[in-house]
Structure 1
Amino acid sequence: MPADTDSPAVVTTVTGRAGVITLNRPRSINALDHEMVQSMDATLVAWADDDAIDVVVVRGAGDRGLCAGGDIVAIHRDANALAGAGDEAAAASDSAAFWRDEYVMNARIGEYPKPYVALMDGIVMGGGVGVCGHANTRIVTERTRLAMPEVGIGLVPDVGGTWLLSHVADELGTYAALTTTHLRGGDVMALGLADHFVPSEDLDALVDALADRPLDDVLTEFAQTPPDSEVAGGRDWIKTVFAADTVAQILENCIATATPEGFATAEAIEGKSPAALAATLSALRAAANDGSLRESLVREYRSSLRCLQHPDLAEGIRAQVIDKDRKPAWKTGPVDADAFTAPLPDHLELKL
């Protein structure tokens, strides 16, 4: 849908019984900044108690995607300044303030009392997954490209990503987290990360229909059978290879398959931050035993603060986003993966 770049970064409209939230930074594929998170969350709070609204829809402006993630250029400034600084300094940063409000919103989405329809059209990455993945009604299209690319910039998946991916069967979520592979609409459905497939050309009509028709009736009209999943087609080898307890063993398992898929997967993983890979695998295993999304978000806040202090985050963002040379010089040496998610002092912990 077209968007006026001079208008607010989050646009809210009410048509009939439907409230629509549009992320409106199309030139940055609607990447979230702190003000956008605060605006969107305030709207969700207000609409939850508004008897005039039966259903909430979240979508992205422009034709490239719903949301490409968070504003990592701002995070890069803090990462440069805070490497090795300690938890107190990291928790006082602008990035920490952004993450706190973002994770509160993610938890709210996961418990939203009304139908919350996320239109996961086009690119949905990082923070975009947090806006959509916990929704009670998740719609993908033939244009969907969903990914959690964090380990490629020295970060651990957050916004509830470890909760979502750790609960995907047969280690397909672990595969997605460590390879940062882009999941198409059929993949997202097969992994259980979406509920319905609707052609992108029908989304406007679907939203219009929600103004005066029940959600179930609208979905019955517009939802179609999703395409087959290439990622799920590798379920048999992935569930064996990615069941290992260490990244090193996963890489060995990939090579041991002696297949083009195994070799390509090993190469993809080897290009990512070793520290972030180790911390991510540890966090995924822990999240699989969490009792709620909130527990995973608390742990992710810890890992985000620790990544902010680790040199790989500044280097990863530099290589991928700032200079775009795609040649990060990762910090080498042994990594204590559990240290990334060790409890913070109580006054610094995320309170949900």
Structure 2
Amino acid sequence: MQQGEVIIERRGTAGIIRLNRPRALNSLTLPMIRTLAEALHGFASESDVSSLVITGEGERGFCAGGDIRALHESARAGDGLAGTFWREEFRLNHMIAFYPKPYVALMDGITMGGGVGLSSHGRHRVVTERTRLAMPETGIGYVPDVGATWLLPKAPGEAGTWLGLTGLDIGAADAIYAGLADLQVASSRLDAVIDALSDLPRGSSSSDVNAALQAFCEPRGESRLQQNAAIIDRAFSFDSVEQILAALAEQEGEFAAETRRVLLTRSPTSLKLALRLLRSGRRSASLAECLGRELGACLQMLDNPDFFEGIRAAVIDKDRNPKWSPASVEGVEPATVERFLKPAEPPLSL
């Protein structure tokens, strides 16, 4: 067993990876990304390993995403580490999506941003009654990344657009409905799940892993996204944020009103760029294409005032009162959005 910010162990036929920064909700650092990639490569080559399980230490979260304070400091310093982090993280996301062995993510507790990238690209995605999943980037002057612009457009109707623009968190039932998870298991049984996977015979297939997981599966509750699908689909079908806001204003009920209130607190620039990326993702042929486009946008974010202001308000001063520039979606010029669509140089290598 290897200890540190990532714990790596073998138990029976299972390779097990535990994110080990519980006080930071297991948020990812560059060394953790590199350790994860090395571990995945290693387990892939071990004939005695039938499945890989990734989980988070502590009871509060699987992974809250990337360490945005570190990204903020790197961007301020101009040292290039933020760009390196994104490149290596996105390569890891792509590796997970095409991992040759059954990859099981136990998404217990907070699963946001980079945590979604570590889990929802996997073959077997398990949520619990404690799961709170989100892509909250528009609230910090950033945009959905880690391949979210590939995943979210595949959700039913416009549920993925709702998730990507509002940044609101959802529970287990919504995560399954949105196609970001597969089944729900009680958090109290996760250790038993790992034991069952560890006891599988050498050479077990994804079907064998799925059968083992199904033994612990419990019925999911009602999905709020599914209940409000008609409202979501009607309002978020438009290709401009202004039209989405106007459509929400015309809808009756608290769900539409709450959604509109939330959107008005998000970075206007991030909203417009996120919608553009999500629509491009819907037309894309591969995850790699989406990751490459996201990387270009991320690198341009290093010159975006809202990126610094959003992180300041969220994790540095913690006043939760960002001052966006421009302050309204009407003030975001089309040329501003186009600037973020500049291809990454050098291109993302996968």
Q: Same fold by TM (over 0.5)?
A: yes
Deviations 1:134-192 (A, max 9, x none): 00000011110000010101111111111111111210000011111111001101111
2:312 aligned residue: 318
Aligned partners of 2:241 and 2:271 also within 8 Å = yes
Amino acid at match of 2:171: R
1:197 aligned residue: 184
Within 5 Å, give how 1:118-197 maps onto structure 2.
118-197=105-184
Deviations 1:252-271 (A, max 9, x none): 11101132221111110010
2:235 aligned residue: 241
Aligned partners of 1:146 and 1:182 also within 8 Å = yes
2:347 aligned residue: 349
**Mapped pair 1:334 → 2:332:** yes
Aligned partners of 1:79 and 1:313 also within 8 Å = no
Post-superposition offset of 1:313 = 0.3
Q: 2:250 aligns with which of 256, 279, 284?
A: 256
* Closer, same or farther: CA 252–31 of 1 in aligned 2, 3 Å: same
**Mapped pair 1:268 → 2:262:** yes
Aligned partners of 1:22 and 1:58 also within 8 Å = yes
Aligned partners of 1:166 and 1:285 also within 8 Å = yes
Aligned partners of 2:313 and 2:322 also within 8 Å = yes
Amino acid at match of 2:278: L
Within 5 Å, give how 1:21-170 maps onto structure 2.
21-81=17-77, 93-170=80-157
1:207 aligned residue: 194
Percentage of identical aligned residues: 43
Q: Which runs of 5+ in 2 are unaligned?
A: 201-207
Post-superposition offset of 1:343 = 2.0
Deviations 1:191-250 (A, max 9, x none): 111111111111100101111224133123111221111121100110010001111110
Amino acid at match of 2:178: L
1:49 & 1:78 partners in 2: Cα distance? Answer: 34
2:293 aligned residue: 299
Tell me which moved more, 26-35 or 73-82.
73-82
1:86 aligned residue: none
Within 5 Å, give how 1:214-229 maps onto structure 2.
214-229=208-223
Amino acid at match of 2:257: F
2:239 & 2:49 partners in 1: Cα distance? Answer: 47
Tell me which moved more, 208-217 or 267-276.
208-217
* Secondary structure of residue in 1 paired with 2:8: strand
1:270 & 1:220 partners in 2: Cα distance? Answer: 41
2:210 & 2:129 partners in 1: Cα distance? Answer: 21
Amino acid at match of 1:42: E
Aligned partners of 1:68 and 1:124 also within 8 Å = yes
2:293 & 2:341 partners in 1: Cα distance? Answer: 6
1:13 aligned residue: 9
2:75 & 2:147 partners in 1: Cα distance? Answer: 21
Post-superposition offset of 1:303 = 0.8
Amino acid at match of 1:338: E
Deviations 1:266-311 (A, max 9, x none): 1100101111110000000000111111111001101111111101
Aligned partners of 1:79 and 1:311 also within 8 Å = no
* Secondary structure of residue in 2 paired with 1:222: coil
1:79 & 1:93 partners in 2: Cα distance? Answer: 7
Aligned partners of 1:11 and 1:22 also within 8 Å = yes
2:204 aligned residue: none
Aligned partners of 2:293 and 2:344 also within 8 Å = no
Amino acid at match of 1:49: S
Tell me which moved more, 116-125 or 158-167.
158-167
Deviations 1:81-134 (A, max 9, x none): 55xxxxxxxxx6100001111000000000001100000110000110110010
2:203 aligned residue: none
Q: Which runs of 5+ in 1 are unaligned?
A: 1-5, 83-91
Post-superposition offset of 1:334 = 2.5
Amino acid at match of 2:92: M
Post-superposition offset of 1:38 = 0.2
TM-score, normalization: structure 1?
Answer: 0.93
